[in-house]
A and B are shown apart, each in its own frame.
Chain A
């Protein structure tokens, strides 16, 4: 493999990603997600056209790219909310045959949405409890008989309360989710996703609209997820955030994977700069 020479001053990737070539589609030592030949077009517009990309287990990978690059569409395909025209992918070592959002979620891949989907007429706490998997009371017959699920419900509630505290939403627990602010909804959605104990959590612009002070603590939570052994893929436009927490960055443009590498290598990549300059002349890519 011919590695691109990392630009001067760039910190090379550490941990399991050390020594990888900084090129699109590079093989990872222990990938949790592999996409192959994934293609989706809307009419004449090719929104996603990814030859090969792998995401390392136990790492935080940032997915960046200009507006309309196909990041959200890529998320939709991977999580089963949209169907590809061609191609397939593998999650946790198993090929995903019939992609079905709820099956993928149960298998450990939980996502959040760029446009938040808070369940407005449920309370914040109910939103959280809904996120837990394998609830006995979710079958219609067991649901009728409270003793069959009340114990589990109590445990779920404790877990939900702990997470709400962590996300500074504890005081809102009995409010309707519809009464939350935009940023609070982002927080709720992320906390709710964590109720499922996902192996891989896919966050679509989790920091958008969250105030800077809280962003810092959110970043802390995301790092905690990695410490717990979970994998994180997140879409983000703020390059400071990307630099701060990601182990690896995948850049998309016009549906394709344009570049890959540790955060520091991205800012100096001429292809990336060109792709961004098409739309954002003043974008600070954090180049050294």
Chain B
């Protein structure tokens, strides 16, 4: 067993690009569910919008109808910052699209619509027709859109090491920027939730009829929450794509959404640090079980007829599932939730 490698690899996973992407997605879900009580089960759709908006615009640009022959302004790759800015209106648009028909209805309708919308979007991204029109790359997805980011990266081409774990300058840069994004988004959520605006959101979570009876336009607040949380989720998807230098449709399956939810529940919904703590713990467990089991099977420490190189990857999710089940039983408020808040249910 190579313990230094196991430990350094685990630590790197816990702070790495994937962890960052899911923490951002979970900050968005926290806005939706933790503070407003909205059941958004389609955070993967927001992440996909973030990833693909950046990938398409920064990679190839989009064919613009009626621009005649020859590539016009939109047909050339956009500068990285313009592509990143375009993520905001696109995520807003998706939130409006999902919210307008559903936010007036009972909470469960939003859950159904969002989970379906995320799958529809993923299937559409795979579809060859859409690839022809918008260069979505079909089932293979998109690569080669991160050169703009590499251009501004001072560490481009350098090699780094976290104890035994090597990583390149691109990863280092994305990780740094990603954690800055997490800090900024968390700070914004914190500022919002201590304000009267945040108070209205929490009152909607508790009882939207009470909020209405006190003169609050519940629909408008829910929509604002959906937009803000959706934008943060889209930023997560964008970081994911840039960090991995690829956007692939199957990265944004329902599993993406449920990972985001899992680490939010783990850390404690309705807490600013919930997504961050939950994310670190989630990826520590995932990272550790993966590298530990891989080492253990290689060294034949586990019964080979049960665990081998092919199936240990599944085993780690069983451990995460067991841990989560234990958490729900013994600490339903999450690791950092307030026990008093959980002491009574919503009446």
Q: Which of A114-169 contact B (CB under 8 A)?
A: 117-122, 126, 129-131, 133, 135-140, 142-144, 146, 149, 153
Contacts of B211 in A (CB 8 A): 102, 130
Q: Tell yes or no: B140 within 8 A of A by CB.
A: no
CA distance A255 to B197 in the complex (A): 40
Known pairs A119-B203, A120-B206, A140-B224; A105 contacts B212 (CB<8 A):
yes
Contact residues of B between 109 and 154, Cβ < 8 Å to A:
none
State which of B191, B213, B218 has its C-beta within 8 Å of the C-beta of A143: B191
Q: Which listed residue (A79, A122, A138, A179) contacts B197, Cβ 8 A?
A: A138
Total count of chain A residues near the partner, CB < 8 A = 40
The 8 A CB mask of B214-227 against A (1 = contact, 0 = none) is 11111000001000
Bound Cα distance from A129 to B197, whole angstroms: 12
> Which chain B residues (288-347) contact chain A, with CB distance < 8 Å?
340-341, 343-344, 346-347
| Number of chain B residues close to chain A: CB under 8 A | 32
B residues near A105, Cβ cutoff 8 Å: 212-215
Further pairs besides A117-B210, A121-B346, A192-B214: 4, Cβ < 8 Å = A102-B217, A146-B191, A146-B195, A196-B215
A220 within 8 A of B: no
Within residues 234 to 271 of chain B, which ones have a CB less than 8 A from any CB in chain A? Answer: none
Contacts of A111 in B (CB 8 A): 213
Q: What 1/0 mask marks residues of chain A from 231 to 247 whose CB sits below 8 Å from any chain B CB?
A: 00000000000000000
Q: Measured between alpha carbons, how far is A130 from B217 in the docked complex, in Å?
A: 13
Complex Cα gap A102–B200 (Å): 13
Tell me the A residues contacting B by CB distance below 8 Å: 79, 81, 101-102, 105-106, 110-113, 117-122, 126, 129-131, 133, 135-140, 142-144, 146, 149, 153, 176, 178-179, 192-193, 195-196
A-B contact count (CB 8 A): 110
Q: Which residues of B contact A137 (CB under 8 A)?
A: 195-197
Question: How many angstroms between the C-alpha atoms of A264 and B187 in the bound complex?
Answer: 62
Distance (whole angstroms) from the CB of B275 to the closest CB of chain A: 19
CA distance A118 to B216 in the complex (A): 15
Q: Give 6 A-B contacts (CB < 8 Å), ordered by A residue.
A: A79-B213, A110-B213, A117-B213, A126-B202, A129-B196, A136-B196
Report chain B residues within 8 Å CB of A146. 191, 195
Is the beta-carbon distance between B340 and A176 smaller than 8 angstroms?
Answer: yes
Chain A residues, Cβ within 8 Å of B215: 102, 105-106, 110, 133, 196
- B209 at the A interface (CB under 8 A): yes
